[in-house]
Amino acid sequence: MKSLTSLLQALNQHFMGDNEQVDAVVFDSRQAKEKTLFVAIEGLTNDGHQFLEVAFNQGCRFAVVQKEVVCPDGMTLFKVKDTRRALATLACEWFDHPSQQVHLIGVTGTNGKTTTTTLLHQLFSALGFSCGLISTVVNKIEQREIPSTHTTPDPFAINQLLRTMVDAGCSYAFMEVSSHAVHQQRIHGLQFAGAVFTNITHDHLDYHKTFPEYIAAKKGFFDGLSKEAFALVNIDDRNGAVMLQNCPSKHATYALNTLADFKGVVVENSLEGLLVKINHTEVHSKLIGKFNAYNLLAVYGVGELLGIDKLALFEALSMLDSVSGRFQFFKSIHGVTVVVDYAHTPDALENVLQTIGQLSNGKNVITLVGCGGDRDKSKRPLMAKIAQKFSQQLILTSDNPRTENPTQILREMQEGLEASSKVPALAIEDRKQAILTASLLAKAGDIVLIAGKGHENYQEVNGVKSPFDDFKIAQEIFNQN
């Protein structure tokens, strides 16, 4: 419970009435009732300003708005410039600013966010620190897992997680920061000790509309850092330098191809793992692929910037395990290597297929890939084109069609296929049937990539989520006698 006066002071608002107490701050009118403060958010499909009377009829008497609206008699409105920003401010205030009581590191980029944050949590846990994780796959408080529903949750969920982490004794927290979260002010008011930029490629243009807008959203994260924080960017990505422009924090860089503060060289890359040289010191990792060399560099850089002993860092780096659904593989009883990966952007798919190509020793690469419904349609033909380019056989299939017609999604993917290509391409709508077909096509020594869903254990069709785990299903099918 908080006083209405203290909450409004955080918004630079004043209340001249009695010392009202507030049981909750809500942004869903269905949760508004007596002793709640309702924040009216203008969303993509619904506008909270249209539900003020609903909130009032349920007993709510106080609301924060950003529009000129008709106020129900007996309800007091507090007008601000941006209610999303106000909601984030109130969330920080409600939970007594937990981000100021932990070293919070945010990781943003099109690809690599989940792997980097998860590896950081692994690394600092191995070093003996109590720490938390907020990621696409799972949220963790020390080793206790809490299911994740969004890459970056809403401001109240974020601050509640951080408060629980602080109360549990966590000294570090590692958090994925999506472009949606920056644009929607979900991270406003959080105090970050550091920020990491992995890369930026084609994605989320269904939301941001243009690539410059997408870049601007990512940059907004870095522009909001304090002077005491650090900004660590992949300088091999040309937009890494963009993130540092006018960024007030301390700057640091990592790279494989460019001079950088944390310079890496891939010495060996095989299914046994990576041998990477970081600033003249070699470290062996169980992770696979050049893209993971970047992730290791980012993790090492964060550790050094946070003052961790270099020798301890290298020892812990060598022990890190792969992340669920990120280049997760097994070898079937018939000698086929099956890789399951979350690659759902053109760049991520190309990176994974290039890595597989380097490891295939001339054997066939069979790629199974789909594209999600109700998401950026412009990447669909690109995904198919890339899969065709780097494979010897291709199967296009459903991912999460959501509310779209899966057949239409496949047609849009097929538009990217080169007619002159000799790579056989099948379109099989049923994903399980597609995996079965891949198993029938594969021979000993071949590598099969099942891309797009990674860690997800469901398939969403017309709003219904049904159990579907690529890795488990592939193991069952490929290991059949």
Reply yes or no on domain 2-84 having CATH 3.40.1390.10: yes
Contact in structure between 80 and 67 (CB atoms under 8 Å): no
Measuring CA to CA, which residue among 254, 226, 10, 216 is closest to residue 104? 226
Which DSSP category does 232 fall into? E
**Contact assessment for residue 24 and residue 4, using Cβ atoms and an 8 Å cutoff:** no
pLDDT, residue 82, reads 96
How far is it, in rounded angstroms, from Cα 219 to Cα 222?
5
Coil, strand, or helix at residue 90? helix
pLDDT value of residue 425: 97
pLDDT attached to residue 208: 41
CA atoms of 148 and 139, how far apart (whole Å) = 6
Domain ranges of the chain: 2-84, 95-317, 328-478
| Fold (CATH) for 95-317 | UDP-N-acetylmuramoyl-L-alanine:D-glutamate ligase (3.40.1190)
Please state, as a whole number, how many other Cβ atoms lie within 10 Å of the Cβ of residue 231.
24
One-letter amino acid at 162 equals L
What the block records as the tokens of 47 is 């506008």
The answer to whether residues 71 and 79 touch, using CB atoms and an 8 Å cutoff, is: no
| β strands within 228-386, DSSP E | 230-234, 250-255, 262-270, 273-278, 281-285, 328-331, 337-341, 365-369
Residue 381's identity, in one-letter code, is P
Q: What is the pLDDT of residue 213?
A: 86
From the first residue on, what is the mean pLDDT of each consecutive set of 10 residues in the chain (481 residues)?
93 82 95 96 89 96 94 93 97 98 96 95 98 93 86 88 97 94 93 96 57 86 96 96 96 98 96 95 96 97 98 97 91 96 92 92 94 92 97 97 96 96 97 97 96 94 94 96 61
CATH of domain 328-478: 3.90.190.20
